[in-house]
Amino acid sequence: MQTLETLNQRTAIRTYTGEAPREAALATIMQAAQEAPVAMGQFANYHLTVVREPAVLQAIEAAGTKQFGREHMLYGAPVFVIVSAKSAHEALTSAEYSSAAIIVHNMALAAVDQGVASCYIWGVIAALNQTPEALAKLQLPNGFTPVCGVTLGASTQAYAPRPVNAAKIATTQL
């Protein structure tokens, strides 16, 4: 798929059949994560966790339910890739949050290219970070904190060309 087509067709998909992405598609999506830029080129400050284990997915969803009273904040997706970051300072900075977001966005765009449904996930990450027993299941290296993630899987919803309002985000021309 061409780049501009990919940008146009990308959309957050929140319905999953439960079927996992093909291994080759998942590998392509993970490669896209590796192709992302990060602040200062400090790649060692980021960590990817590919969660397919149903018990871990359930523990993350349960943390969301406990904290927000919402069920299935991962929408039953069979794969959840989490981007964690380690601060070069005392706390995570906007550069680290932004880098994690760009990594996720690269994966989301690659998912469109591969015909794999995906959705950006920030909400349940907040609950995960407040739930030590769920966090421990990620086996993160020391010092890393989950920042965001992307759900991946098959869906009955297909990507398709979509009209996008050119004034959706207010713009000032100077």
Sole binder of ligand FMN in the list 7, 12, 40, 136 (CB under 6 A): 12
Q: What are phi and psi of 118, to 5 degrees?
A: -150, 155
Residue with tokens 């993630």: 149
Q: Helix, strand or coil for residue 147?
A: strand
* Residue 172: CB minimum distance to ligand FMN, A: 21
Q: Is residue 97 a contact point for ligand FMN (CB under 6 A)? A: no
Is residue 76 a contact point for ligand FMN (CB under 6 A)? Answer: no
Is there a contact between 134 and 43 (Cβ–Cβ < 8 Å)? no
Tell whether residue 123 is a contact of ligand FMN (CB under 6 A).
Answer: yes
Q: Which stretch binds ligand FMN (CB under 6 A): 8-16, 25-33, 36-44, 153-161?
A: 8-16
| Tokens matching residue 104 | 């996720």
Token couple for 170: 């207010």
Residue with Cβ nearer ligand FMN (24 or 167): 167
The residue sitting closest to ligand FMN, measured at its beta carbon, is 123
Measured between alpha carbons, how far is 88 from 68 in angstroms, rounded to an integer?
A: 30
Query: HSE of 25 in the Cβ direction (CA atoms, 13 Å)?
Result: 18
User: Residue 115 or residue 122: which is nearer to ligand FMN going by CB?
Assistant: 122
Of the candidates 6, 8, 9, 11, which one interacts with ligand FMN according to CB under 6 A? 11
Contact call for residue 119 and ligand FMN (CB under 6 A): yes
Cβ atoms of 92 and 100 closer than 8 Å: no
Which residues of the chain form contacts with ligand FMN (CB under 6 A)?
11-12, 14, 101, 119-123
